[in-house]
Amino acid sequence: MFFLSSLRQRKPQNLESIREFNEKKMNETLLQNNEPENQHSADGDKELRSIASRQKKSQRALALKLFLLLGAVSLIVMAVYGLVTRSATTEYLQRQANQAYAELAVSVETPEKAPATTSIDLPGQTQAYIQAPVYAQTTGYVKKWNFDIGSHVKEGDVLAEIDTPAVDQQLNQAKATLKQEQATLDLSRVTFQRDQDLLQRKVLAQQDFDTAKDNFRENQATVNSGEAVVLRLEALEDFKLVKAPFEGIVTARNTDIGGMVNAGSGNPLFIVARINPLRVYINVPQSMAQDATVGVTADLKFNEFPERTFPGKVVRTAGAIDPTSRTLLTEVDVPNGNGQLLPGAYMQVHLSTGGNRQSLLISANTLLFKSDGTTVGVVESDNKVELKKVKIGKDLGTHLEITEGLSPEDRVIVNPSDSLASGQIVRVRPSRNEKKQATAAPEAKHS
């Protein structure tokens, strides 16, 4: 009974405890169920964020790709545009060049037959036929001078006088010494003659005679030496008068009154030149060296006498070609009796030599220098260019002598372009005579 009553008393307490226990269990169960859901929601948020970040990155990469694609397309468009523009410009320029090339206008000339004599103008300079510096041959002072520059002198004329007091004293002393030596010689001669007579009589010993003979010969040699000294000093006295060595003009005077001069000094007192005739030296080209022979005539032209020519003649040549200039040194003498022409003047020498009758003459500005040799451009009848190799005979300055390669009917191009080629079509400009005839024809019709 007690047991049952005790059970009845504990039952309500057990039910309450069971209910609390069940509530705890339920709460724990709910908590356990809520924890996975919260964890699942946090993981979802992380995934959403990662997806959003990946989407942003992909959008940025797409925008960068689009930008790069647009840049590449722009570069390609610009390159294509530049190529097209350049091609069009090149084509336009090429078209203009072809048009100008096809319509090249040239001036032509026909070769002329070489004359029987060929002439050439060469530069030259006149020189005195003889020119000599006059030096002092004694020492002293200039006492006076008689001729100045430009004066005409004859051979032997006294140009100046030199006062030589030192030489005068030396000459006086030498003459006095010579007299003394002459007296000694006279005494030794008398002694020698006396001893010779005594020796013949056998009164004088041979040794004494030999001594007298030796003294006589020694004194004779001394006198000869003294005479030579006197002659030398007298010659110096003669040089006190400075004389002209030949006929000519005084071109320089380098002293004055009172000036001291020394024998053998390096400064000439005067310079005298003979100007009749005058010498002219010219350098004849190697191609004409065989024609520049002695006796060939030449005409000299001076700027001072524009309307006159002075005749000259080749008198001698060097006989050898200068290896540096490839020319032949030639002397031409020109008469100058009236003294109009002056030494040192510049002039042109017109030299005439024998020519080749088979050769032709063309202007010097028609040549073309190609790798295969010297050529000229010739315009054929169909206005096409043909380059012909030529052989030059003589260089005449403004004209050239052609011995091979051309005919008299050829039309040679003047001032050709370096790019001129065979087969090129050109247009020939009318010459001055053709222009005059073309302008004169309408006037004749109107008249």
pLDDT of residue 253: 93
Q: How far is CA 437 from CA 412, 434, 442, 443, in A?
A: 22, 5, 9, 10
Closest CA to 272 of 159, 162, 161: 159
Cβ burial, residue 272 (10 Å; 0-12/13-18/19+): buried
Number of C-beta neighbours around residue 252 at 10 A? 15
Exposure string of 376-404, with b = 16+ CB inside 10 Å and e = fewer, is bbbbeeeeebebbebebbbebeebbbbee
Note whether 415 and 398 are within 8 A (CB).
no
Return phi, psi of residue 419, to 5°: -85, 5
pLDDT of residue 201: 84
pLDDT of residue 24: 63
71 residue type, one letter: G
| CA 71 – CA 73 distance, rounded (Å) | 5
Number of C-beta neighbours around residue 291 at 10 A? 17
| CA 247 – CA 153 distance, rounded (Å) | 6
Q: Is 381 helix (H, G, I), strand (E, B) or coil?
A: coil
Contact partners, residue 422, CB within 8 Å, separation at least 6: 384, 385, 386, 387
| CA 171 – CA 168 distance, rounded (Å) | 5
Closest CA to 425 of 395, 381, 394: 381
Chain length of the chain: 447
Contact partners, residue 308, CB within 8 Å, separation at least 6: 301, 302
Contact partners, residue 289, CB within 8 Å, separation at least 6: 317, 321, 327, 328
Q: Is the whole-model pTM more than 0.75?
A: no
pLDDT of residue 248: 92
H helix count then E strand count, the chain:
4, 22
| CA 109 – CA 103 distance, rounded (Å) | 19
| CA 279 – CA 314 distance, rounded (Å) | 10
Closest CA to 368 of 346, 384, 385: 385
The two structure tokens encoding residue 186: 């006279």
The two structure tokens encoding residue 39: 């964890």
| CA 349 – CA 28 distance, rounded (Å) | 141
Closest CA to 378 of 393, 392, 364, 368: 368
List, for residues 349-372, the tens digit of each pLDDT value. 988 776 555 688 899 899 888 888
Cβ burial, residue 177 (10 Å; 0-12/13-18/19+): middle
- β-pair type (248-253, 260-261): unpaired
pLDDT along the chain (447 residues), means of 10: 42 54 61 49 62 73 80 84 79 65 78 76 92 90 93 93 88 89 88 85 84 88 90 86 92 91 85 93 86 88 90 92 92 91 91 70 89 88 89 81 87 89 86 56 51
